[in-house]
Structure 1
Amino acid sequence: MHAFENLDVFGGVVSLDFANTVDGRATEQPVEYLHTYADLAAWSAYMGMIDDATAERLGRLDGGASLDQALSLREAIFQVFRAIGRGEPAPVAELDEVRLRYAEAVAAARLSPGDDGTFGWRFEGDDPDRAWWPIAVDAVRLLTGGPLDRIKVCAAPAGCVGLFLDTSKNRSRRWCTMDGCGVDAKVKRQATRRRTAR
């Protein structure tokens, strides 16, 4: 079984999925999925940002400092997009953190054409930071190109606080996943109705 087999991937873009690698942030027992640098490299491969062979090579490196930078980026992404999802101003210090990591990433990248003919940032080599560089690029792409009005925070009262891009036609999605927080919310509503009816 893959290490991330039980991790729900529901963000819609890599940067939001990265923010969601802490599950149940507002609960008494949040779940952390990235304990080591090898976890980060494996997650990057799981999300298709690097291939498995690169992840294996990177996972053998001493990437402690890179993991620290990645987790700092993750928390900045979470704070920025949670604010946006709630219609609040994005926090300045966290925006600066995202900008800093983006600048580091593109400084190490090269522009090259993709299969669709457009150009994009490509990363090569075995620098430990390669595991998070594409995340920083994705976060800035979302910030500068949107759609920011479709970013939402899971409405589950249990403390999920998951971030996602609402791609529903009528923008009615409220929960990170219907079979997770959506079901929990419905069960709680039914229990409340039953208590009220009594």
Structure 2
Amino acid sequence: MFLELFGGVACLDFANTMDGRATAHPEELLHSYADLSAWSAYAGLIDAGTAARLAARGNEADLRDAVALREAIFEVFAAIGRKRAAPATALGVVQAHYAQAMTVAQLVPGDEYEWRFTGDDPGRASWPVAVSAVRLLAGGPLDRVKVCAAEAGCIGLFLDTSKNRSRRWCTMDGCGMDAKIQRQASRRQAARRT
């Protein structure tokens, strides 16, 4: 039902829940609030029991709110991945969601201190995403945020953790393989013409 989590951080994975954004027919993966809570569990942001409780409470307005956050995150990090300034309006949306999340977050110890959310407020499915976005914006590494280079219109976002910072595609098995096949076909056509 959901794409492989290739973003490297929760906020980029969440931005990728709209697949093939630059194609003629982008695929929306979040059709209902239940989809949102299921994705949040799939991404490890909440447990399955919490996802089920939230799915019973959330509604279309809650989904629209989360999708607005997703679109703002996409705008911000696509701009950063393309070495452009992030749009102020989108940054404002991310900041507003983060501020809302922080009103209910609890700072808890672990290996490192982390923000934890409890309760069954429908915002809980996306609060960790807002925290992830602000953490990446404030602490980086922003120079490793990239946009998939596939010519087919993927434009998925990911954090390039390769040693030499040379990752170009969201996944090697998907867009990377498609690009290699396309290059090979182009070389064959060029060889036939000569």
Report the TM-score when normalising by structure 2: 0.97
Secondary structure at the aligned position of 1:137 is classed as helix
Matches within 5 A, 1:147-186: 147-186=141-180
Question: d(CA) in 1 for partners of 2:42 and 2:5?
Answer: 10
Does the residue aligned with 2:34 lie in a helix, a strand or coil?
helix
Contact 2:34 2:58 in 1 (8 A): no
* 2:101 is aligned with 1:102: no
Q: Partners in 2 of 1:105 and 1:87 — Cα distance?
A: 28
How many pairs align? 192
Residue identity opposite 1:12 in structure 2:
G
Report the Cα distance in structure 2 between the residues aligned to 1:141 and 1:90, rounded to whole angstroms.
Answer: 15
- The residue type paired with residue 27 of structure 1 is T
Q: Determine the C-alpha separation between the residues in 2 that align with 1:61 and 1:99.
A: 25
Q: Give 1:196's aligned residue.
A: 190
Q: Segments of 4+ in structure 1 off by > 4 A?
A: none
Identity over aligned pairs, percent: 66
Distance 2:106 2:59 in 1: 23
1:18 aligns with 2:14: yes
2:67 aligned to 50, 71, 81, which one?
71
CA RMSD of aligned residues (A): 0.8
**Structure 2: unaligned runs, 5 residues or longer:** none
